[in-house]
């Protein structure tokens, strides 16, 4: 059975395309061809199996062959795509509704306050959710959190399966955390520089840590000027290094020189791939306990979990690892072992194969 992947956005630096490319590289005998980006006008009966990666493709899904849809973000059940109320600095616990989402945008700051964008977001999310329900396409969620959100919106539990992400481990040997590296006292943040990623909380926490602790920031985003101002106000300019967008080789180097990776997100991340990247480089993670992140981080085994938007708690976690090499090393080694046990691309592909076979078998049983 050949799997045809379908991804609307084929931007080589996009998260979905990076993921799809990893599937294509590691499923050479199951894919047969590269990903396609359009289903309209295509005879879908030519495919053994379709794996969709964008809800926009559901509209053209004909049902001529078995299919699944992976939900990579919140868009199908949240018009703003964030599930985060910025004004209240808390996760949105509402089920999607016009009144609740309008209040969320206008009062709670979950997204744009422009009426046209609010209406467009509601229309898109309601259309996507309706398509999932009407076409009864099996859905793959990347975390238990994301699965529960769909169930809350009325999707039958049996229609949604959680399949955790897996990553390709580095081809070159990874150096375990050494005492010399730990003594360098460098932290690493990797991600988009936008408010919901919690980098301002991390900078506030950094100001409460030992003066020897420094932070490397790898990423780009429109929020950087505001954060640079915060760095100046906190007098942290000598402890923070901005690296902009980094190549895989540059990121490898940054991972190797840090003693821990910090993932301080405010919004409920659907999953948490940064945690797996850290594990692959044998580094522990200090992350916020939001969204799908707890599916990937085991507190006090592979890293540390702290409440969102609490600089004091984050600083305490950082100081505890910065001052204790033995504990840091234990977490680093545990994290690498945990990755090998559960989150390699091979584990992920086996889980996908189980879903494919189950869906294909159920379709055959109906014919």
Residue 248 within any structural domain of the chain: yes
For β-strands 49-52 and 67-71, DSSP reports them as parallel
CATH number at residue 84: 3.40.50
Percent above pLDDT 70 for the chain: 97
Residue 110 within any structural domain of the chain: yes
Task: Return the sign of the alpha-carbon dihedral for residues 138, 144, 146, 148.
Answer: positive
Residue 173 within any structural domain of the chain: no
Stated pTM of the model: 0.92
What is the CA 204 to chain-centroid distance, rounded?
Answer: 24
Residue 208 within any structural domain of the chain: yes
Residue 93 within any structural domain of the chain: yes
Backbone φ, ψ for residue 146 (5° rounding):
-65, -40
Give yes or no: residues 311 and 326 share one domain.
yes
Distance (Å, rounded) from C-alpha 38 to C-alpha 309? 40
Give, in order, the Cα–Cα distances in Å from 170 to each of 96, 132, 190, 279, 302: 40, 36, 17, 11, 18
Residue 174 within any structural domain of the chain: no
CB neighbourhood size of 14 (10 A): 13
Give yes or no: residues 290 and 350 share one domain.
no
| Range of weakest confidence among 60-64, 227-231, 311-315 | 60-64
Any idea of the CA torsion for 343, 147, 98, 124, to the nearest 10 degrees? 60
CA 147-268-282 angle, to 5 degrees, is 95
pLDDT at 29: 79
pLDDT at 160: 98
Give yes or no: residues 318 and 352 share one domain.
no
Question: Is the confidence at residue 14, as pLDDT, over 70?
Answer: no
Give yes or no: residues 200 and 152 share one domain.
no
Give, in order, the Cα–Cα distances in Å from 28 to each of 25, 169, 318: 6, 18, 42
Average of per-residue pLDDT values in the chain: 93
Element (H, E) at 352: helix 345-366
Residues 220-252 have pLDDT tens digits of 999 999 999 999 999 999 999 999 899 888 999
Q: How many domains does the chain have?
A: 2
Give yes or no: residues 149 and 197 share one domain.
no
CATH number at residue 259: 3.40.50.2000
Query: How would residue 36 be classed by pLDDT, with cut points 50, 70 and 90?
Result: confident
Give, in order, the Cα–Cα distances in Å from 137 to each of 65, 93, 140, 171, 318: 11, 25, 10, 36, 43
Write the DSSP symbol of residue 90: E
Residue 172 within any structural domain of the chain: no
| Range of weakest confidence among 2-16, 250-264, 274-288, 297-311 | 2-16
Contact yes or no for 240/130 (Cβ under 8 A): no
Give yes or no: residues 162 and 273 share one domain.
no
Give yes or no: residues 189 and 331 share one domain.
yes
Any idea of the CA torsion for 174, 176, 180, 185, to the nearest 10 degrees? 90
Mean pLDDT of 91-115: 94
Give yes or no: residues 194 and 97 share one domain.
no
Mean pLDDT of 298-315: 97
Give, in order, the Cα–Cα distances in Å from 217 to each of 8, 290, 314: 30, 21, 17
Question: Is the confidence at residue 365, as pLDDT, over 60?
Answer: no
Give yes or no: residues 135 and 32 share one domain.
yes
Give yes or no: residues 162 and 266 share one domain.
no
Give yes or no: residues 186 and 127 share one domain.
no
Give yes or no: residues 8 and 121 share one domain.
yes
**In terms of residue numbers, what domain contains 125?**
3-167+345-366
Mean pLDDT of 69-84: 95
């Amino acid at each position: 059975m050949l799997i045809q992947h379908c991804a609307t956005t084929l931007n080589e630096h996009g998260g979905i395309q990076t993921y799809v490319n990893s599937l294509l590289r590691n499923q050479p005998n199951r894919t047969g061809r590269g990903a396609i980006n359009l289903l309209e006008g295509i005879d879908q009966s030519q495919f053994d199996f379709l794996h969709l990666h964008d809800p926009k493709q559901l509209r053209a899904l004909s049902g001529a062959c078995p299919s699944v849809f992976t939900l990579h973000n919140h868009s199908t059940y949240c018009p703003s795509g964030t599930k985060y109320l910025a004004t209240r600095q808390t996760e949105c616990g509402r089920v999607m509704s016009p009144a609740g989402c309008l209040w969320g945008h206008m009062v709670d700051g979950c997204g744009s306050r422009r009426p046209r964008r609010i209406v467009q977001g509601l229309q898109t999310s309601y259309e996507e959710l309706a398509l999932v329900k009407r076409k009864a396409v099996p859905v793959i969620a990347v975390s238990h959190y994301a699965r529960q959100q769909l169930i809350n919106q009325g999707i039958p539990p049996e229609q949604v399966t959680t399949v955790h992400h897996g990553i390709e481990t580095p081809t070159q040997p990874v150096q375990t955390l050494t005492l010399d590296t730990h003594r360098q006292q460098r932290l690493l943040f990797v991600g988009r520089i936008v408010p919901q990623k919690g980098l301002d909380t991390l900078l506030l926490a950094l100001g409460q840590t030992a003066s020897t602790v420094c932070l490397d920031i790898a990423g780009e985003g429109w929020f950087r000027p505001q954060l640079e101002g915060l760095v100046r106000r906190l007098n942290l300019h000598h402890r923070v290094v901005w690296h902009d967008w980094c190549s895989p080789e540059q990121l490898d180097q940054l991972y190797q020189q840090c003693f821990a990776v910090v993932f301080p997100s405010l919004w409920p991340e659907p999953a948490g791939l940064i945690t797996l990247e850290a594990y692959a480089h044998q580094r522990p993670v200090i992350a916020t306990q939001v969204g799908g992140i707890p599916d990937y981080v085991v507190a006090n085994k592979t890293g540390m979990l702290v409440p969102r938007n609490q600089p004091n708690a984050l600083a305490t976690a950082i100081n505890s690892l910065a001052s204790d090499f033995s504990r840091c090393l234990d977490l680093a080694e545990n994290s690498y072992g945990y990755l090998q046990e559960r989150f390699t691309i091979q584990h992920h592909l086996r889980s996908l194969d189980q879903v494919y076979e189950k869906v294909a078998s159920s379709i055959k049983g109906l014919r």
